[in-house]
Amino acid sequence: MNKPVLGILGGVGPLATALLIRMVVEKTPARVDQEHIPMIVFNDPQIPDRTAHILDRSQPDPLPEMAKVARWLQDAGADYIAIACNTAHFYYDGITAAASIPVLNIMHETVRAVCDAAPDVSLVGLMATRGTVASGVFETCFKERGVRLAVPDEADQQLLDALIYEQVKANKPYDAQAFLAVARHLHERGCDAVVVGCTELSVVYEELGEKPDYLYDSLDVLAERCVGWYCAYREIVSQPAAI
């Protein structure tokens, strides 16, 4: 088997996991099957809901199950891990402590991608779960780059909640116009960029026809990083040994 092997901690949610796999395949500069990235995917939809626990600590804690999946991926032969969920990164330190292989961080990668693409950005909008918003992780990451974060008002957050939980996660048709309306409202409030910061919302974003140029999709960024990590590793190991 080619190295390195990508491990995907999935099922959070299942459709977003499938989209991440497809994105990685489509972004890989492969000419034949044998040049694609080997992956081990643990699609575990039984992991407790991340937002429910962040907002109410009496709810089941998802970390033990996610840590178990990370260890399983490592033991199964993965060389690095990607997590197909933004909200899960509230538990990032606990997940990384469970495995000794690198775990990519979707939030860090997204913040870097936005700031690299738009170096003059000063205010970024966030479309995400209530759990991600409440966790403050994106806000902290952007603040470290001198960038302020704006979140939707309550009415728009309710639209996002419905898109995430009642439509994408429930395998129901989703309202792309509601998605675009929330993004537009954030942009009209002065956001130079708007982050699609929930992988369920990435499913909606992917199906859009013409995409606003101020939108940055976190799952797309993660897929790019998965491929970049693989290619960099392959380039290093292909270097001739020093004499």
Mean pLDDT of 113-129: 97
pLDDT value at residue 233: 87
Asked if the model's pLDDT at residue 243 lies above 50, the reply is no
Name the residue range of residue 125's domain. 106-218
> Are residues 96 and 125 located together in one domain of the fold?
no
Instruction: Provide the pLDDT confidence category of residue 73 given band limits of 50, 70 and 90.
Output: very high
Residue 181 lies in a domain: yes
Instruction: Provide the pLDDT confidence category of residue 235 given band limits of 50, 70 and 90.
Output: confident
Residue 229 lies in a domain: yes
> Are residues 124 and 213 located together in one domain of the fold?
yes
> Are residues 147 and 121 located together in one domain of the fold?
yes
> Are residues 43 and 82 located together in one domain of the fold?
yes
Mean pLDDT of 9-22: 96
Instruction: Provide the pLDDT confidence category of residue 236 given band limits of 50, 70 and 90.
Output: low
> Are residues 194 and 136 located together in one domain of the fold?
yes
> Are residues 153 and 167 located together in one domain of the fold?
yes
Mean pLDDT of 179-206: 97
Residue 96 lies in a domain: yes
The C-alpha atoms of residue 184 and residue 194 are separated, in whole angstroms, by 9
Neighbours of 239 (CB within 10 A): 7
DSSP β-bridge partners for residue 124: 149, 193
Residue 100 lies in a domain: yes
Asked if the model's pLDDT at residue 156 lies above 90, the reply is yes
* List of residues 6+ apart from 45 with CB closer than 8 A: 11, 12, 13, 14
pTM to 2 decimal places = 0.94
Q: Which of 115, 141, 191, 198 is catalytic?
A: 198
Which sign, positive or negative, has the C-alpha torsion 185, 196, 170, 153?
Answer: negative
Q: Which of 85, 115, 141, 191 is catalytic?
A: 85
pLDDT value at residue 241: 42
Q: For the domain that residue 79 is a member of, what is the CATH number?
A: 3.40.50.1860
> Are residues 116 and 101 located together in one domain of the fold?
no
Residue 33 lies in a domain: yes
Mean pLDDT of 40-63: 97
pLDDT value at residue 27: 98
> Are residues 31 and 93 located together in one domain of the fold?
yes
Q: Nearest 5°: CA angle at 99, between 96 and 40?
A: 105
191 assigned to active site: no
Q: Hey, what are 112's tokens?
A: 């870097």
DSSP β-bridge partners for residue 127: 196
* Percent of the chain's residues with pLDDT above 70: 96
Tally of domains in the chain: 2
> Are residues 82 and 113 located together in one domain of the fold?
no
Neighbours of 31 (CB within 10 A): 7
Asked if the model's pLDDT at residue 239 lies above 90, the reply is no
- Give the neighbor-by-neighbor strand order of the sheet with 6-10: 39-43, 6-10, 80-83
Q: Hey, what are 204's tokens?
A: 């909606």
> 10: cis peptide before it, omega within 30°?
no
Neighbours of 86 (CB within 10 A): 32
Mean pLDDT of 158-179: 97
> Are residues 214 and 226 located together in one domain of the fold?
no
Contacts of 170-179 with C-beta under 8 Å, sequence gap 24+, read 171/15, 174/203, 174/204, 174/207, 176/204, 176/207, 176/208, 179/127, 179/204, 179/205, 179/208
Mean pLDDT of 73-91: 97
Between residues 60 and 1, which one has the greater pLDDT?
A: 60
Alpha helices (H) along the chain: 14-27, 50-55, 63-76, 92-98, 106-117, 130-135, 137-143, 154-161, 176-188, 199-207, 218-238
> Are residues 157 and 181 located together in one domain of the fold?
yes
pLDDT value at residue 238: 55
pLDDT value at residue 3: 83
Mean pLDDT of 141-155: 97
198 assigned to active site: yes
Q: Average model confidence (pLDDT) for the chain?
A: 95
Residue 243 lies in a domain: no
DSSP β-bridge partners for residue 39: 6
Residue 93 lies in a domain: yes
Residue 190 lies in a domain: yes
The C-alpha atoms of residue 68 and residue 215 are separated, in whole angstroms, by 34
> Are residues 100 and 110 located together in one domain of the fold?
no
In the chain, the amino acid numbered 76 is: A
